[in-house]
Amino acid sequence: MYDKLWLRYAGESQKKNARRVILSCGEKNNVLNAAITELKTVFSADAITVDTEAKDAPAGEGFLIRNKGGALAVSSQTGAGVLYGVFTLLRLLNTGRIDENFVQIADSPKISWRILNHWDNLDRSVERGYAGKSLWKWDDLPKIERRYVDYARIVASVGINGSVLNNVNANPIFLTSEYLKKTAALADVFRDYNVKVFLSVNFAAPISLSGLSTADPLDDAVRLWWKNKAAEIYALIPDFGGFVVKADSEGQPGPYAYGRNHADGANALADALSPHGGIVIWRAFVYGHGETDRAKKAYTDFKPLDGKFRSNSAVQVKNGPIDFQPREPVHPLFGAMKETSLFMEFQITQEYLGQGEHIVFLAPMWKEILQFGIRFPDEDSENQSSVGKVLEEKKLSGVAGVSNIGDNYDWCGSLFHSANLFAFGRLSWDWTLDPADIALEWSVLTWGNDPTVVDAVVKILTNSWEACIDYMTPLGLNHIMRYEHHYGPDPGCDQGSRADWKPPYYHRADARGLGFDRTRNGSDAVDQYAPLVADIFNDIKTCPEKYLLWFHHVPWDYTLRSGRTLKDELAFRYRRGVGEAEQLRAWWRLVKGRVPPDRYKAVLDKLDAQVADAHEWEAVCVKYFLSFAERA
C-alpha cells in the first residue's frame, strides 16, 4: 500500500454521503465512468444519477456545480469537464465549503496544457528525483499495475492533463516500436482520467535508430522519418500529446550541428505531428557557445526567432534565466516573444531547495513569477500584463512542472512534499489562486480538520520558502550549492570544466563587493527586459532587494533599506534564516499527539535535518563571504 495523499476520503469511512448527485454530460465515455467511480467512494451508488443531455453546460474542460433542488448537480459538455467537476465537488465537501447555503460554482482552466515532466530514465533512476525509483516499470510493461491508475487519479484530481514519461535527456529507445507499445499501455490507463502522454525525444534519433547519416531538420529523408514515426505513434496512441525536445543543451544533439536554428528543428517535428493534432514543446534551456553571461543566452538565441515557430509548437521557458534557483527574477523571454506560444517550466522536485530533506512550499515562488508585471519592449506604462496573463493568452497555453513523483510510499519524498504537486496542479489550472488558500486546502485534505494541526501546517507551508531563501541564497545570491548534486553550501567550489558550473561565476565576491553586475555597465542583461522594467533593475536604488545581488555588484559598505551595510545585512539574513527554520520545527512540535505518531516523527525528522542544514549554510556562507569584506 501507499499513501492516499489528498484523496484520503476514498475508503476512509463506510458511511456514505446521504445527498443525491446528478451528473449531466454531453458524452458517454470512460472519463465519465471514472468520475462516477470516484463519486462512489463518498456517495451511495443509488444516489448518483447520470443525464447525458447536458443542456447549457460548459464546454471543454469547464464545469458547473450547483444546488438543484437539494441535490448536487455537476454538468459539462465533456467527460473531462465532469471529472474535474467531481474532483472539485469532493474537494469542496472535504474542506467544508459546501453547506446549506451553497448555490453554485462555475470553473474552467485558464491554461490549456497542465503537464508533468518526468525526468525518468529507462533503468528507473530519476534525474533530480528524491522519492525513490521511477513509477514506470519498463521491463514489465505493458503489464499494468494499480499504482498507474492511482497516479492518473492523483494528477487528474488537481487538473493536470499531460504527462511526459521520460527524461528530457532522452534515450532514443523510447521511439522504438517495442517501447511505443509500452507507452501505449500507460496511455490506455491515463486516457480514462483525461491525461495525455508525451515523450521526450532525442533530436538525433533518425541517426541512431534508422542509420541515416544526418538529423538535419531540413533534410527530406529526416523529415520523412519523423513523419513516419509520428504516424506509427498515432496508430498506437490516437490521442498522443506530442514531443518534448531538449536540443543543443548540455551535450544533447540539436539543429546547430547542421547550421540550423531552434525554429528549424522544432518545425520539422511540428510538421510531422500536425496531421494528428500533436504538438512539439521545444525547451529554451540553453547556455554556452560564447555568451559571457549565462543568464542572457536563451533570450539571445530565441528572441530573433519570434514568429518563426509553427502554430502547433511552443517554446518551454524556465521561470528564471538560470536554473530553478531558490529565487530568480522572471525570465525575460516572457516579455519578448509576442508571436510565439510559450510554456512556463517550473520545477516541483526541489533540486536546489534542500531536495527531499527540506520542507519548502513552492507555490509562493510560482505565484511571484506568475503575477510579475511583465512588459513588452514596445509597450508604455499603461500596457502591461502579468506573466500568467501572457501565458493564458497564447495560442497554445501551457505550464509544465518537473515532477517530484517516485515509487516511495509517500509518492513525493515526504509527507509534506506532496503539497508542491498539489499546488502545481491548482496554480496550473488557475494561476490567480492564493498560495495560502492552496496551503489550507492541502492541509485539511491531507491532515484532517483539527484546527491546531491545520494552523501549524499552513504556517509551515506559507513561511518555508522565504526561510529557505534566507538561510541559502539571500538578496539575490544563486547557484552556490555543491557541485553536481546541488545539495548544501559550497560558495567557493572550483569543480567543473566550465566557469558557469562554479559558484564564484555567479556571486563574483571580491574585496570590493558581492554580486553579478548585470546592469548596463556590466553584462547588460537588464536590457533583455522592456525599458521600464530594465530601468528598475538597472538602478541599485530601485532594484528590489530580493534581486539585488542578481543584478548588481554591491559594495560591502553599501547601506540597504534596513539601515545595515551589505556585509551586516548578509549576516543578518543568514542568521534570520536559521531562526525561521527553527520556527518551522517549533510549529510542528505543537501537533504532537494530534497526528499519528509515525507521521509526526517522519515530518519532525525532515525538520530536524532542515534546521541542521540551515546552521551549516549560515556557518559556511557567512564565513566565506565576509572573508572578502575583511580584505576591503
Over residues 376-403, mean pLDDT: 86
- Domains of the chain from N-terminus onward: 21-107 (3.30.379.10), 113-447 (3.20.20.80), 467-516+553-629 (3.90.1330.10)
pLDDT above 70 (res 10): no
- 151 touches 1 (CB < 8 A): no
pLDDT score recorded for residue 342:
98
- Tell me, yes or no, if 345 is annotated catalytic: no
Q: How far apart are CA 165 and CA 156, in angstroms?
A: 16
Catalytic choice (192, 248, 293, 323): 323
pLDDT score recorded for residue 99:
83
Residues near 616 by Cβ (< 8 Å), separated by ≥ 6? 488, 489
Cell numbers that stand for 130 in this block = 528524491
Residue 486 binned pLDDT confidence (cut-offs 50, 70, 90): very high
pLDDT more than 90, % of the chain: 92
Q: How far apart are CA 530 and CA 20, in angstroms?
A: 54
pLDDT above 90 (res 55): no
pLDDT score recorded for residue 382:
60
Residue type, 554: V
Across the chain, what does the average pLDDT equal? Answer: 96
pLDDT above 70 (res 379): no
Interval 496-532: pLDDT, tens: 989 999 999 999 999 999 999 999 999 999 999 999 9
E strands present in 372-412: 373-374, 385-386, 398-402
3-state secondary structure 348-363: CCCCCCCCCCCCCCCH
Burial of 4-39, coded b for 16+ CB within 10 Å and e otherwise, reads: bbbbebeeeeeeebeebbbbbbbeeeebbebbbebb
What phi, psi does 117 have (nearest 5°)? -105, 110
Give, for 546, the enclosing helix (H) or strand (E): none
Over residues 460-470, mean pLDDT: 98
Over residues 206-227, mean pLDDT: 97
Over residues 341-357, mean pLDDT: 98
Give, for 463, the enclosing helix (H) or strand (E): helix 451-472
Over residues 551-557, mean pLDDT: 98
Q: Which residues, listed in sequence order, are joined to residue 401 by a DSSP beta bridge?
A: 116, 346
| Residue with the three cell numbers 509500452 | 182
Interval 222-255: pLDDT, tens: 999 999 999 999 999 999 999 999 999 999 999 9
- 106 touches 58 (CB < 8 A): yes
pLDDT score recorded for residue 380:
61
Predicted TM-score of the model (pTM): 0.97
pLDDT above 50 (res 448): yes
Q: How many residues does the chain have?
A: 632
pLDDT score recorded for residue 377:
75
Residue 358 binned pLDDT confidence (cut-offs 50, 70, 90): very high
Return the SS3 of 330.
coil
pLDDT above 70 (res 316): yes
pLDDT above 50 (res 12): no
3-state secondary structure 586-598: HHHHCCCCCCCHH
pLDDT score recorded for residue 432:
98
Q: How far apart are CA 134 and CA 132, in angstroms?
A: 7
What phi, psi does 586 have (nearest 5°)? -65, -40
Catalytic choice (250, 380, 393, 557): 250
Residue 559 binned pLDDT confidence (cut-offs 50, 70, 90): very high
pLDDT score recorded for residue 504:
98
Count of beta carbons in the 10 Å neighbourhood of residue 615: 16
Q: How far apart are CA 451 and CA 299, in angstroms?
A: 48
Residues near 3 by Cβ (< 8 Å), separated by ≥ 6? 409, 410, 411, 415, 418
| Residue 144: burial class (beta carbons within 10 Å; 0-12, 13-18, 19+) | middle
**Which of 464, 387, 478 is CA-nearest to residue 423?**
464
Over residues 182-192, mean pLDDT: 98
Cell numbers that stand for 55 in this block = 443542456
**Which of 565, 539, 564 is CA-nearest to residue 552?**
539
pLDDT above 50 (res 215): yes
Over residues 471-480, mean pLDDT: 98
Return the minimum-mean-pLDDT range out of 29-38, 66-75, 286-295, 544-553.
286-295
- Tell me, yes or no, if 351 is annotated catalytic: yes
Q: How far apart are CA 217 and CA 256, in angstroms?
A: 10
pLDDT above 60 (res 11): no
Taking the CA atoms of residue 445, residue 448, residue 451 and residue 455 in that order, the dihedral angle to the nearest 10 degrees is -50
pLDDT score recorded for residue 414:
97
Interval 562-575: pLDDT, tens: 999 999 999 999 99
Return the minimum-mean-pLDDT range out of 42-46, 115-119, 158-162.
42-46
Interval 583-595: pLDDT, tens: 999 999 999 999 9
Catalytic choice (192, 351, 580, 618): 351
- 441 touches 91 (CB < 8 A): yes
- Tell me, yes or no, if 323 is annotated catalytic: yes
pLDDT score recorded for residue 375:
82
**Which of 134, 132, 108 is CA-nearest to residue 120?**
134
